[in-house]
Chain A
């Protein structure tokens, strides 16, 4: 049967359409109208706001496009934190690109396309749009990673990310193909039904799942698929690293959750618990311990990002309504605090080719109080100290683990929080407490970056103090996310 889209199908994906059309238009205009280039950042910000507004205003019809995409509370929740992240990325990219002398419109265009990919992926309930979203998310990012074409570590990062990413995508698509073979459908919901009706794992299903989970673990940089992350994070232009650190993860983890929860993997096979907890616990330990010894703050945040995906995996393992709420809250919190931290990293940088040494932050707490305080709040939040948003998120995830009967996962998680506190404290120590024998490095002040960092830090603080609205929204979304 041929599928004929109706107007409601188009209306449902209006934000995606706005972003895609704008991305193309930005490219075209930048060729014809030179003066327009100066305001491309502001225009992009406006487009993002319009897309977010469209998502909030127009109804959420549920399944559209023949049941391949589901626009519901999950979409609005995930899209909003993705768009918020992209907003801060674009906002901080302006001064960054100007300083690095890379003011090209393509940057914004690619960023918007990757955003569309992430949004599609989070809303996909069919293997095809899922993979489409994944590729649309990944391909622009390969280019963005290598955007600083005169800087060798950026090129290296781009190449590395491309090779590993393409490999991971291949795993995912092969896994999806096998899953199709095992269940006879590409629809994730129907796939879940078929799998739950099965009596344990069969080899085809197991191989398919291994492919998809492994591929996703690559994208999420989970142990033992993490080794690309530190190099790529370090080499990418800082706003791209900020994007890379949150947006793909926010989308991929939702897709992974849909798969795991839909198939009820915990019931299906006892081996999933082993696999899942190796991914979760391994990431936590590796990420936190490796973060301690890093000298470059971008690498440090990369390892800490690995650890944070480990915490979020705990919620994926738990699954169900509690797990779903946990994943959503955790990803929104992680997005906000990481974006804030990277805005500050972008502030404290002179030359992209150089390492962003933690020791360069010496005494900045007193020299540049606002960005340093914003970074401090984000780092304490990442460590999970109340009353910050990061604590709320950990509370949700570990609470879900305890409720699901996985007290041991919660215990390992909190022990890891303790280890992570150590590496975040080190940055705070350098900024505020290191003896000021040498003078603080002079970074050119940027109002935009300061404002972006301060705003996210205030957000981290305010949501931590009053998390009720976001918890309610996450709960409503989770009702749609679980089968």
Chain B
């Protein structure tokens, strides 16, 4: 009973808990924090249980749950996990308690509402990764907008309204056309079979029956509508402009979730829907995706280089890192795809940790300008140590997680698109320069600002918050097979 409903438990428990939290009077802030933390930790352990139950030798969906939802249209509450979504769900449920812990002192206003939003967001994210009914996926995907809009808009920085609205409108702009594409595909299925279905597995057959031809053929247009929604979320160049704004203005917790999970929804969507449903159209689009991915890698790194603001710098480096993921997906070999999926997780961990540490810095000093720091390594040695480690992970130092992902992507893409790999290689170097230069200017150099002399180092809570992320960063770096093994069968199945 418990195991057979494991996925819906992980998906729906946060939302139910959020409604429960709503009933507690808002003045019991500590209670709300501890409850939310306990719930999210419980959900994380439940998803660890899912990992235990998961059979890595199988490529198909496991722990599948199916129930009628809107029978008139064959819409089902249909969840399942395979090696691809497994890691992403784990990443999500890991990051939520981290975010709650990270917001312990930085979110002081409207504590209850913040945690409600966060738990609702969890349901949306996990649901989107697990949904096997395209309608259900769309519902989760769109629903995410509401709590994230509030998180950025209420607890964000000075230009938070602009950033929140931009985030909402950009994402919705992509997804409304996806809705039409979903309706169209469902109609094609209805016309050929006489029954309504939004089932992902059924659609694997249906989608290829949509007339295919040039760019303006129906299948290509449906493909583009899906791709646009995901490309905005990733974000791929040139749809990335919302990201720096959203990242900079979001509170620490929001940035962690945004970088850690939301962006992965885009790359996951590309793999799960564009790649799997429309293989023919995908083949045609690969060159475009590759070019945009490489542009994103190089452009993101260059723009990051000149940012005066730490958060913005990391945001642009995200554009660059997500370009690697897209390159790996576009190359489409087994190892490049595995690398791309692993890199999604890596980026979530490393960038999540970076935003967490930046948040700690911001909480103490109230500024994110690189110029306001310098030489604080001697003042805050623990923070410096963690920051350096995470930065090195992010730029791909061997022995840490980023290296494994980037190596697999580049090695896997080489036989398919050597030119793109060369371009991406340039991005690796640039990215390293950008990040290390930033670390140098913030932590080393002479201590130029007197007010930095009194900075407090990380306390126990903060260390405990960042430790789980560091643990996974090292684990993936040293022993990636733990994470690559379960996805191999699924990737093989998806690509063939």
Q: A: which residues have CB within 8 A of B?
A: 366, 380, 385-387, 391, 395, 398-399, 402-403, 407, 410-411, 414-415, 417-418, 421-422, 425, 428-429, 432-433, 466-468, 471-472, 475
Contacts and interface: CB of A to CB of B under 8 A. Distances in A.
A407 B168 CA distance: 25
B143 A433 contact: no
B169 interface: yes
Interface in B166-205: 168-169, 172-173, 176-177, 179-180, 183-184, 186-187, 190
Nearest to A366: B110
B143 A387 contact: yes
A402 B180 contact: yes
A399 B75 CA distance: 13
Contacts of A402: 180, 183-184, 187
- Which has the most chain A C-beta neighbours within 10 Å: B73, B165, B176? B176
Contacts of A432: 150, 153-154
A429 B150 CA distance: 9
B153 to A, nearest CB: 4
A395 B145 CA distance: 18
The 3 A-B residue pairs with the shortest CB-CB distance in the complex, in nearest-first order: A414-B176, A386-B139, A402-B183
A437 to B, nearest CB: 14
B472 interface: no
A432 B149 CA distance: 11
Q: Is the interface of A mostly helix, strand, loop or mixed?
A: helix
B153 A398 contact: no
B168 A425 contact: yes
Contact of A398 (B145, B146, B179): B179
A433 B180 contact: no
Chain B, interface residues (CB within 8 Å), range: 20 to 34
A241 to B, nearest CB: 27
Contact of A414 (B71, B143, B177, B190): B177
A429 B187 CA distance: 37
Interface of B: 69-73, 110, 138-139, 142-143, 145-146, 149-150, 153-154, 160-161, 164-165, 168-169, 172-173, 176-177, 179-180, 183-184, 186-187, 190
Contacts of B169: 418, 421-422, 425
Given A385-B145, A402-B184, A432-B153, A417 B165 contact: no
B71 A468 contact: yes
Given A415-B176, A425-B165, A398 B183 contact: yes
B154 A411 contact: no
A305 to B, nearest CB: 21
B146 A385 contact: yes
A415 B178 CA distance: 11
Contacts of A366: 110
Nearest to A400: B183
Contacts of B146: 380, 385
Nearest to A376: B146
B187 A403 contact: yes
A407 B149 contact: no
Contacts of A387: 139, 143
Nearest to A467: B70
